[in-house]
Amino acid sequence: MENKESQPVESAPAITEEKILRYREKLLLEQNLSMGVAGGVGAALVGATIWATVTVATGYQIGWMAVGVGFLVGYSVRFLGKGIEKMFGLVGGSLALVGCLLGNFFSMIGFAAKSEHMDVLDILSSIDYGLVPDIMIEAFSPMDLLFYGIAVYEGYRFSIRQITQEEVIQNSK
């Protein structure tokens, strides 16, 4: 057996409260709520459009589309907003709910356009928007609450950037 010389093992730098606070301050300066909101709005619109397209194409409302909208919105808010504060989660959760409602609304528009053999834009320009809340309520199902709730949770959860111990160690040198 070979005799190996013992070499000192380099230990990871200690994480002090000061390093954590310094890194947190750096991350707070990188936050951009406006970009997070813009990304979330864009993602809600894209997610709602995909939701409506799938719903109209299949003829079925697939509740799991709400989960996708929540994830898409939350991830977009986090990626563009770089937020570590609760406000980013509140924005993500709210916009995920808006995306779900828009998904249902766009689906109704798509079905109306399909049944009337009209263009979607023609339907949008001829709608009595005062009736939309009543139509949305009539089309509402208690199961929607479950999927909307999951979407809001995901929108909230994925909107806030999580800081890992390794990240703090790497960035506190």
Residue 42 confidence (pLDDT) above 90 = yes
**Model confidence at 128, in pLDDT bands (50, 70, 90)?**
confident
Backbone angles phi, psi at 74, to 5 degrees: -60, -45
Mean of the pLDDT values across residues 18-46? 93
Q: What is the mean pLDDT of residues 122-143?
A: 88
pLDDT-derived band at 6 (thresholds 50, 70, 90) equals low
Confidence class for position 169, pLDDT limits 50, 70, 90: confident
Q: Per-domain residue ranges for the chain?
A: 17-168
Average predicted confidence (pLDDT) for the chain: 89
Name the burial class of residue 116, with classes exposed (0-12), middle (13-18) and buried (19+) by CB atoms within 10 angstroms of its CB.
exposed
Q: Are 168 and 19 in contact (CB under 8 A)?
A: yes
Q: pLDDT digits over 58-102, tens only? A: 998 888 899 999 999 999 999 999 999 999 999 999 999 999 999
pLDDT at site 163: 83
**So what's the pLDDT on residue 39?**
98
Position 19 scores a pLDDT of 80
Q: Which amino acid is present at 17? A: E
Provide the pLDDT confidence category of residue 23 given band limits of 50, 70 and 90.
confident
SS3 (DSSP) at 14: coil
CA distance 158 to 75: 5
